[in-house]
Amino acid sequence: MSKKLIIATVVVFVLLAMGYWYWKNTALTPEEQALQRAEENTKVLTESTAQGVLPTLDVQANPVSNLPDANPVNKTNPFADIKTNPFQ
């Protein structure tokens, strides 16, 4: 009975030691946490300051929107609108 108790105690101790080692290696250091917070704050500040500063794009400000259609392919077939069924 004492051998089983010793083995169980050793197994529990090893599992606890492995869990502590894993927790220490995956936990962020204070420097890494501060860097992560600064990164998030920079994104928020950039998004909030750019909202009122940038001009809105006007659809009518496009100088090319009123150009005539210069594509000759659309005008080559004068019978394009005629629909006939050859099997009637």
Residue 53: the pLDDT is 67
Residue 66: the pLDDT is 78
CA–CA distance, 1 with 7 (Å, rounded to integer): 10
Written as six digits, the tokens of 17 are: 């030691």
Residue with tokens 């009518």: 60
Written as six digits, the tokens of 40 are: 């998030």
Answer yes or no: are the C-beta atoms of 28 and 36 closer than 8 Å. yes
pLDDT in tens, 2-58: 888 899 999 999 999 999 888 887 777 788 888 889 999 988 888 877 676 666 666
Q: Where are the domains of the chain?
A: 1-41
CA–CA distance, 17 with 20 (Å, rounded to integer): 5
Written as six digits, the tokens of 12 are: 């529990």
pTM attached to this predicted model: 0.36
